[in-house]
Structure 1
């Protein structure tokens, strides 16, 4: 402490502060005067310290780490340079989160978990923005706002509403697969270190021959899968609502660095035309028997953020951030997220969000973006702000033109109900569960479903029954309804 250099406090404009303990007043007991620049600056900044929280994924935890490529054959699928050779190391930042809860909600809520990774590659940022489940509740972005509203608060009571939730689920049978995951043990992970991550969406890779392969990304935890029972999760909400945050931070701090195997499923482009499952349907998985996992590398988390707000709260992930050698897919939900994520960031953080230190690429940035709120760099200096120009500004490079993808069909609001196999994969998942896992699933569902009106219960029970009769019968029995009468009536 004796050698500590004490810096003089200043205002935001650099004006030294002589007294930070007393407001400027008219006499010792008089009113505060309008010219107290320090008081008004401090109050104004304090009033604006809280940026709007994320509409979804509001509460999160983050850590730095790196990815190491371990697959020598990635060239068969992509030209992305982070996969160029075994041993390539790419720095990254990850943000885990709950989805539906507010910023002050508990980490142990029954909820999907966000799993977003920002890879700072030499070709720009790659954001792998996924969840801890390989699927989702809906498959059309037009319904996303409606779905999220059912996970938030009732507009009249401002309380969470099982009726809203089950009403939506029962009227949206494509949600059944994800509902089964949500109410299983996987709905309450034991912290962030003991869960997998998934891209959920289908993306694509492109090799040097311009061949395209559809891929799904999987991050398999090396800590082992651990979940909380409903009773344990309920107890943890009162005991330590920040449990997952604390567990992650302490593990990294103590050198117990979390690790994940990074894998992918690969589908040749031609297969997508004939595969019996729509490979772009976010409510369905690709069976591993058809497309087994290919190991790509390892992700390690080894450094905690220094400032939560600057690094975790201001982190902005968006699935449109890919690098050369990667592409998107016709996944409708993905197509919607390509637009909605950057739009949300501009609203929450401002138009210059991608220049914030946590979001800025390690590779050079050369754009004609200028001005906008909170522009905090040189704003392009005296260089031209238009293109084309005659003054050596950055220019296009045809080597990076996107690979053309043929499309066919009519432009219309096509009814996705025409693909109405909502039940096979949900039933398969139920049948894969052990007896005790099924018992906890039924208990978790019945605890929630028992609180909603009878007509919604009946509608949802029919979906469970269609997935597997034992599934429907067990839930019906748990909430005191005769499934035989219900199925006969339907």
Structure 2
């Protein structure tokens, strides 16, 4: 036991933890009881706004050890042979709120902050290599369609399928989501992906396009819908508990990082847009190259300080790593850091879990909760003549974007032979899944679409799956129960040409 005296936040000793000051015998409390006021005011403010996306999650600390040699592709210090870099990771679900069950069918976030000697590098990914949309302008609409109705405050399959069927580029990710890989059994037993295409730059200034793949070494395992539903009713924090308990037992989970590397010039003529977040790169074209091993070996000491307040932003690059023309990545480079400034505070990067472990020489100044500052003799502007830090293009490398190559950008957007929305989803169904997996996918789709209450959207959902695969579409069409109506309510007729709408959104086959 300790023999320390309770203090106020300003360090003064406290007379009582149990009784507030009052006047006379009627119990009237006085505002001069500053400790009572401090406790209640602090209590009212102990939460920060939860994340709009990825609200429910958990994480741990660990390190990344390089075991391969990719120096020919990037000069980033954390990926040089023998490098060992500390990190923090946060796993999460996407659509659910903080109290939602861990085992809902939903993509899982896989966000890593590497504390490199050249600054923090944040890799913000998921447990799937693709996403529902390819342009950040649609992101708020997509997330709202997965959240709750404004009136009933209930999640709604009709709303989800309305968005998905009006956004056919979602087909690849929805096929992942509703298939066997849609619900991981554990964060320890799922893969992680950078998802986006990034740029690597080597010591000679050569540029490459790269995709990250973290393969779990615990064995990839998933849950059936029935298993997930049962767990959700018994333990809403199943995945948080599993990770924490495993690390406490000394069973430290590991992942092997491999990358696909595309030569810079290949992007100009590749058969589909390599910067499209709804696409994967075939491994026969760009095989995986081993980089190293990530190990998680330390649980957080305080969840709020180290996991709730950890702030990831894909704008946190380091020399040797940069962005690509991926339109979703471009939007996230702005939106993630902006969300953290709103959610945690202007100076969120000064918090210990977010602070770089390399030397910091920033001209950022003041703002709420600013706790670090340079000596008064250092100027707070640049350029200056008084010894303040100065930018160094040679040290920073080519950070700030790819070469200004209009032809590359135009080709990446419009000139690829296989830039359709359904072919890779079809390949996932027919070349990766066996018949039992296809049957379960069909049942999951039927179960999900059966809750859609709008006939036109339901018909679009059927056509959506016909576009993915004709057999699968027929299974869905034949398996859906009739629409239910309340007494006296007429089910509106679908508008004419519903089938024509879906057919009009199927690109012509590549020639």
Question: TM exceeds 0.5?
Answer: yes
1:222 and 2:197 are equivalent in the alignment: no
C-alpha separation in 2, matches of 1:43 and 1:416: 58
Instruction: Please say if residues 370 and 379 of structure 1, whose CA atoms lie closer than 8 Å, have aligned partners that are also in contact.
Output: no
Q: In structure 1, what is the Cα distance between the partners aligned to 2:481 and 2:172?
A: 23
Q: Distance in 1 between matches of 2:116 and 2:224?
A: 39
Q: For residue 434 of structure 1, what is the aligned residue in structure 2?
A: 434
How has the CA–CA distance of structure 1 residues 31 and 115 changed in structure 2, closer, same or farther, with 3 Å as cutoff? same
Q: CA deviation at 1:487?
A: 6.5
Cα gap change, 1:362 to 1:226, in 2 (>3 Å):
same
Report the TM-score when normalising by structure 1.
Answer: 0.94
Output one character per residue of 1:335-383: Cα deviation in whole Å (capped at 9) or x when no partner.
0000000100000011100111000011011111121111233465553
The aligned counterpart of 2:451 is 451
Which of residues 402, 405, 410 in structure 1 aligns to 2:403? 405
**Equivalent-residue separation in structure 1 for 2:436 and 2:247 (angstroms):** 33
Q: Which residue of 2 aligns with 1:476?
A: 477
2:105 counterpart residue number: 110
Offset at residue 473 of structure 1 (A): 1.1
1:60/1:98 contact within 8 Å kept: yes
Q: Aligned match of 1:15 in 8, 12, 23?
A: 12
Match of 1:323 among 318, 325, 333: 318
1:301 is aligned to 296
Q: Is this contact kept in 2: 1:370–1:380, CA < 8 A?
A: no
Name whichever of 308-317 and 22-31 sits farther off.
Answer: 22-31
Output the TM-score relative to the length of structure 2.
Answer: 0.90
Q: Which of 67, 90, 94 pairs up with 2:85?
A: 90
1:275 matches 2:273: no
1-structure distance, mates of 2:266, 2:415: 23
Q: Following the alignment from structure 1 to structure 2, what is the Cα–Cα distance between the partners of residues 135 and 34? A: 56
Q: CA deviation at 1:116?
A: 0.3
Is 1:393 matched with 2:392? no
1:130 aligns to 2:136 (yes or no): no
Decide whether aligned partners of structure 1 residues 228 and 47 sit closer, same or farther in structure 2, where only a CA change above 3 A counts. Answer: same
Partner deviation per Cα, 1:89-126 (whole Å, 9 max, x = no partner): 11110000000000000000110000001111111111
Q: Measure how far apart 1:298 and its partner are.
A: 0.4
Structure-2 residue corresponding to 1:81 = 77
Give the distance between the partners of 1:299 and 1:411, measured in 2 at CA.
34
Hey, what's the Cα distance between the residues in 2 that align with 1:83 and 1:46? 43
Report the 3-state secondary structure (helix = DSSP H, G, I; strand = E; otherwise coil) of the residue aligned with 2:367: coil
The equivalent position to 1:58 in structure 2, one of 55, 66, 87, is: 55
What corresponds to 1:424 in structure 2? 423
- Looking at structure 1, the residues matched to 408 and 199 of structure 2 have their Cα atoms a distance apart, in angstroms, of 24
Point out the more displaced range, 17-26 or 236-245: 17-26
Q: How does 1:279-290 map to 2 (within 5 A)?
A: 279-290=274-285
- The answer to whether the 8 A contact 1:199-1:217 is kept is yes
Q: Give the counterpart of 1:37 among 34, 37, 48.
A: 34
Partner Cα separation in structure 2 for residue 190 and residue 402 of structure 1: 41
Of 219-228 and 395-404, more deviation after overlay is shown by 395-404
CA distance in 2, matches of 1:275, 1:34: 71
Distance (Å, rounded) in 1 between the aligned partners of 2:373 and 2:381 = 16
Once the two structures are TM-superposed, the CA of residue 416 in structure 1 deviates from its matched residue by 7.6
For residues 124 and 160 of structure 1, the distance between their equivalents in structure 2, rounded to whole angstroms, comes to 40
Alpha-carbon shift at residue 9 of structure 1 (Å):
1.6
Distance of 2:76 and 2:419 partners within structure 1: 37
Gaps of 5+ in 2: 483-496, 504-511
Secondary structure at the aligned position of 1:75 is classed as coil
Residues 267 and 408 in structure 2, CA contact (< 8 A), matched pair in contact too: no
C-alpha root-mean-square deviation of aligned residues, in Å? 2.2
What is the aligned residue count?
481
> Please, which of 2, 23, 32 is the counterpart of residue 26 of structure 1?
23
Taking the aligned partners of 1:381 and 1:58, their CA distance within structure 2 comes to 40
Q: Distance in 2 between matches of 1:417 and 1:23?
A: 73
Query: CA 1:318–1:212 in structure 2 vs 1: closer, same or farther (change >3 Å)?
Result: same
The structure 2 residue matched to 1:49, chosen from 23, 26, 46, is 46
The question of whether the paired residues in 2 share the 8 Å contact of 1:100 and 1:152 is answered with yes
Which residue of the partner structure matches residue 465 of structure 1? 466
Q: 1:202 aligns with which of 188, 191, 197?
A: 197
Q: What is the alpha-carbon distance in structure 2 between the residues aligned to residue 415 and residue 379 of structure 1?
A: 45
2:335 is paired with a residue whose SS is helix
Q: How far did 1:136 drift?
A: 0.2
